[in-house]
Amino acid sequence: MITVLDLGNNNIKGLTDTNGPITFRSNLSRDYEAYPDGFNYVLLDGQYTYFEKGTFSKEYIKTNKDYKAQLLYGIAKMNDADLIDTNLTLLLPISEMEHKKKYEDELKNKQFKFTVKTTKKKDMAVNIKDVFVVPEGYASYFTLDDNTKASNVLVIDIGGRTTNSIQKN
């Protein structure tokens, strides 16, 4: 399986080669909740992360954010299975591509076991085999048909905090 996720500042977007797309707000909370199952969450390493409530991260560099719970929640929202083996594609602003090794080092050939509640509560394991990091603007280019790709193309990605463009002549 191939999983593509954009861990955006305002929204998380994702799809797989068989499921998606999904979108959810990137705000989260780790505050105590008396009834955790009343919320959507990931329980990873003994810590609850609740989704689409709380605050948005103010960290500018995406790889410096505490992103693992969001990543696992996104994978869980796109898959019903309890065990997922996937290759992962993540997007970064062009100006942050120098930091892509952090994603690769922290995720490649790693297994994550956690409890998640999206529509229902379940225990999951996600095995990330490989990690491929691409600039955000380039991702849209690969969705274009061959005739458009052969012409002059300008792709502009207007994100929550960054704007990237690529031009192909």
pLDDT per residue over 45-58, tens digit each?
A: 999 999 999 999 98
Q: Which amino acid does the sequence have at 116? A: V
- pLDDT interval class at 20 (50, 70, 90): confident
What per-residue confidence (pLDDT) applies to 120? 93
User: Taking a C-beta distance cutoff of 8 angstroms, is the pair 15, 22 a contact?
Assistant: yes
What residue segments make up the domains of the chain, in order of their start?
2-136
Q: Is the pLDDT of residue 140 over 80?
A: no
Q: Per-residue pLDDT averaged across 114-133, rounded?
A: 97
Q: Is the pLDDT of residue 127 over 90?
A: yes
Comparing CA positions, the residue from 24, 25, 51 lying closest to residue 36 is: 51
Cis ω for the linkage preceding 93 (within 30 of 0): no
What per-residue confidence (pLDDT) applies to 123? 98
pLDDT per residue over 55-112, tens digit each?
A: 999 888 899 999 999 999 999 999 989 999 999 999 998 889 999 999 999 999 999 9
Higher pLDDT, 134 or 142: 134
Q: How many Cβ atoms are within 10 Å of 56's Cβ, its own excluded? A: 12
Comparing CA positions, the residue from 92, 74, 59, 65 lying closest to residue 159 is: 92
Average predicted confidence (pLDDT) for the chain: 90
Please measure the distance between the N-terminal and C-terminal CA atoms of the chain and give it in whole angstroms.
33
Q: Is the pLDDT of residue 125 over 80?
A: yes
Cα–Cα distance measured from residue 85 to residue 125, given in angstroms and rounded to the nearest whole number: 9
What per-residue confidence (pLDDT) applies to 33? 95
Query: What's the CATH number for 2-136?
Result: 3.30.420.40
